[in-house]
Amino acid sequence: MKALITGASSGIGKDMAKILSARGYDLILVARRKDLLEQLKLELKTEVEIIAMDISSTFNCMKLYNKVKKQDIDIVINNAGFGTFGNFSETNMNKELDMIDLNIKAVHSLTKVFLQDFKEKNKGYILNVASLAAFQAGPLMATYYATKAYVLRLTEAIYEELRREDSNVYIGALCPGPVDTGFNDVAGVQFGVKALNSYDVAKYAINKMFKRKLIIVPGLSTKLVYYFGNFIPRKVKLKVAYNIQKKKEK
Ligand SMILES: NC(=O)c1ccc[n+]([C@@H]2O[C@H](COP(=O)([O-])OP(=O)(O)OC[C@H]3O[C@@H](n4cnc5c(N)ncnc54)[C@H](OP(=O)(O)O)[C@@H]3O)[C@@H](O)[C@H]2O)c1
């Protein structure tokens, strides 16, 4: 049994690696910080292959795929991602284009190539890490929220295609609210509301993935926002989202 996890050097991806290893999975771990991946490898009991790579380029995503495609991979978790904070007119465009390359294009291309292989074998799990942010627009984190909406929509559409084909291949989206990881430091923000523990989120996500849930929302308060968010008018949601994001400003 083997799983590939992107963004495994910290946060949710690192905890998913620990959980899958404890369940007996060999791992292919991908991220840029090789030292952190090597440290993690020492903690794990199953076989671990480290691929230190920046996957914010399609060329590298294909290089990654070509490197591992002959292995019998059961699970692919597209987890690597980051956000930025600020008024859209003032934030750094190159950083946002990098974000689109990682949060959208890497998820898109890796989902496509592994899905093709999984469909041929008629088995396999693809878990895409979106966010609660996927369900609405995010003033002050406009690009990040929009990237996660892409991940969610793509995943939902593929889920239905697979369902119609009676496929055994699973695809689903993890949609957490705030989680205590390296995310805030990278985005240059602080928590405005209480965050969930990363290990708990990872464990919940893996359990629900094996139960083949399409949309995985960990934590009671996040679930409440997810369900009741549908009944709030769009413009009200924009105001609320702005106020929540504003509290994150350092
Ligand atoms: N934390 C939250 O509140 C929260 C909420 C909802 C969704 N999420 C999502 O959860 C996922 C994991 O984030 P996290 O919260 O665990 O944050 P994190 O601790 O910052 O982890 C992000 C991971 O992505 C990797 N990564 C970043 N850029 C990369 C690149 N160009 N190429 C390869 N790997 C790259 C990082 O590794 P290197 O730096 O070593 O490359 C790191 O392992 C993200 O998709 C995030 O959007 C987070």
Range of the domain at 225: 2-246
* pLDDT value at residue 195: 95
**Is residue 106 within 6 Å of ligand 1 at its C-beta?**
no
**Is residue 219 within 6 Å of ligand 1 at its C-beta?**
no
* pLDDT value at residue 187: 93
How far is the centre of ligand 1, averaged over its atoms, from the C-alpha of 229 (Å)? 25
Residues marked active site are found at 144, 148
Copy the structure tokens of residue 49: 């292959």
* pLDDT value at residue 191: 77
Which CATH number do you get for residue 143? Answer: 3.40.50.720
**Contact (Cβ atoms closer than 8 angstroms) between residue 145 and residue 133:** yes
**Is residue 32 within 6 Å of ligand 1 at its C-beta?**
yes
Q: How large is the average pLDDT for residues 11-34?
A: 98
How far is the centre of ligand 1, averaged over its atoms, from the C-alpha of 115 (Å)? 22
Atom of ligand 1 nearest to the CA of 101: 31
* pLDDT value at residue 175: 98
Atom of ligand 1 nearest to the CA of 56: 31
Mutate to test the pocket of ligand 1, among 39, 63, 65, 79 (most ligand atoms within 8 A of CB): 79
* Residue 202, C-beta contacts closer than 8 angstroms, at least 6 positions apart: 12, 15, 16, 18, 19
Q: What percent of the chain has pLDDT over 90?
A: 96
| The pLDDT of residue 139 is above 80 | yes
Tally of structural domains, the chain: 1
**Is residue 31 within 6 Å of ligand 1 at its C-beta?**
yes
Say which range, 22-31, 87-96, 110-119, 240-249, has the weakest mean pLDDT.
240-249
pLDDT digits (tens, 9 = 90+) for 146-198: 999 999 999 999 999 999 999 999 999 999 999 999 999 999 998 778 899 99
* pLDDT value at residue 204: 98
Residue 250: pLDDT band with limits 50, 70, 90? confident
pLDDT digits (tens, 9 = 90+) for 43-77: 999 999 999 999 999 999 999 999 999 999 999 99
Nearest to 31 by CA among 66, 56, 59: 56
**Is residue 129 within 6 Å of ligand 1 at its C-beta?**
yes
Q: Would strands 215-216 and 2-6 be described as parallel, antiparallel, or unpaired?
A: unpaired
Mutate to test the pocket of ligand 1, among 98, 179, 225 (most ligand atoms within 8 A of CB): 179
Percentages of the chain per state (helix, strand, coil), in multiples of 5: 55, 15, 30
Q: How large is the average pLDDT for residues 104-131?
A: 98
pTM: 0.98
* pLDDT value at residue 96: 98
* pLDDT value at residue 196: 97
- Strand runs labelled E in 43-142: 48-52, 75-78, 125-129
Mutate to test the pocket of ligand 1, among 5, 9, 215, 216 (most ligand atoms within 8 A of CB): 9
